[in-house]
Amino acid sequence: MSDDQTAVRFGILGCANISIKLCKALSKAPNAKLHAIGSRSLEKATAFAAEHGLPEAVRVYGSYEGVLEDEEVDAVYIPLPTGLHVTWAVRAAERRKHVLLEKPVAMNVAELDRILEACEAHGVQFMDGTMWVHHPRTAKMKEALSDAQRFGQLKWIHSCLTYNPGPEFLKNSIRVKPDLDGLGALGDTGWYCIRAILWAVNYELPKSVLAFPGAILNEEGVIISCGSSMHWEDGRSATFHCSFLSYVTFDVTVLGTKGCLRLNDFALPFEESLGFGKFLEASELDYGKIEQGMWCPKPNEHVVETGFSQDILMVKEFADLVRKVQGCEMKPEKTWPVLSRKTQVVLDAVKESIEKGYQPVEL
């Protein structure tokens, strides 16, 4: 947390687990600080503040409205269940609060558009809470993919993000309730896969999306496990798999004509708390350096150091934009809402393909 008077003052709507992470990030970001937290009950918000040692200066509200009505709050972080996003993000924008919105950003692109229109109408910055794109490793990987000599042309991407939270979660978690996080595993884990795929193709939307048959839905119709293929007109393809039923994976493989990039911790580097992240990259250019006994070179391990962890970097980037918008140096940056919207468009297409009995959906 910065004591600097220029620090962006954040309000947090809700005491979700992810709020703990954001409180910590706000305590470390050089240009932001936690100003207020609100929950549906004052008791819950007070207990959260005490349990997580929030500074006494942090204001505690017994409603989300309380945070939005606080005129000293510059920006809000909204980690509420997805089904509540449209209501609270729009209200926040209407109160001229800049909006950092947890993913998945909305139940569908129509809801997201209402949020983005409100942000635009009220001149506030929008960004979603996808953290890994802010890690310096991500920029280094993009450099590797952009190296035509080593990587060649991109042909295929595969991503997999799964975890197995167990039977209690599958029965009771808000993440599997239709009126709360109604996108289930597709929203919670598939969001990352789709974002990784779009990131790899420089956010060019696929021409068509086809969900894999055999998606698993719970009794209330919420997706527990699914996957999809995507196709671009020039022959590039991608696939992903996301699930609440398998051991934890965070995989991305990007294949080019001449090289390959791979990592198994894309959404959160294994060594995040040690201040670095790694990825593997291989190229046919290394064939001249084959070690004795290897049929092809072992991939190169790239290590990327980072001064801040990716949650802090996200807060810092967002707060920088907020300050510039507040100082009339710029209008809200359009890139971030565009990336969120493209991710949601593909996510909606996957859901539609499942609902249509695994028919292809054209974009």
Asked whether position 155 contacts a copy of itself by CB under 8 A, the answer is: yes
Q: Residue holding tokens 């070690």?
A: 291
The answer to whether 358 contacts a copy of itself (rule: CB under 8 A) is: yes
Asked if residue 15 lies in contact with residue 45, where contact means CB atoms within 8 angstroms, the answer is yes
The reply to whether 235 sits near a copy of itself by the rule CB under 8 A is: yes
Helix (H) or strand (E) holding 238: strand 237-243
- Give the nearer residue to a copy of itself in terms of CB position, either 123 or 152: 152
The string of DSSP codes covering 74-103 is: -EEEE-S-GGGHHHHHHHHHHTT-EEEEPS
Out of 33, 241, 316, 342, the only residue in the binding site for a copy of itself (CB under 8 A) is 241
Query: Per rule CB under 8 A, is residue 188 in the interface with a copy of itself?
Result: no
User: Contact, 186 vs 222, CB < 8 A?
Assistant: no
Segment interacting with a copy of itself, rule: CB under 8 A, options 75-83, 103-111, 116-124, 247-255: 247-255
DSSP state for residue 265 in the 8-state scheme: B
Return d(Cα 36, Cα 140) in angstroms, integer: 35
Whether 306 and 135 have beta carbons less than 8 Å apart is answered as yes
Q: Which stretch binds a copy of itself (CB under 8 A): 26-34, 47-55, 190-198, 294-302?
A: 294-302
Looking at 27, 125, 162, 340, which residue binds a copy of itself (CB under 8 A)?
Answer: 162
Q: Vertex 73, ends 69 and 343: CA angle to 5°?
A: 100
Q: Which stretch binds a copy of itself (CB under 8 A): 111-119, 129-137, 242-250, 326-334?
A: 242-250
96 binds a copy of itself (CB under 8 A): no
Q: Which stretch binds a copy of itself (CB under 8 A): 48-56, 70-78, 270-278, 320-328?
A: 270-278
Q: Is 190 in the site for a copy of itself (CB under 8 A)?
A: no
Q: Which two tokens stand for residue 73?
A: 């709050």
Q: Token pair for residue 248?
A: 């934890």
Peptide bond into 104 cis (omega under 30): yes
Which residues are near a copy of itself by CB under 8 A? Answer: 152, 155-156, 158, 160, 162, 164, 208, 210, 212-214, 216, 225, 227, 229, 231-232, 235, 237, 239, 241, 243, 245-249, 251, 253, 255-260, 262, 264-265, 268, 270-274, 282-284, 292-296, 298-299, 358, 360
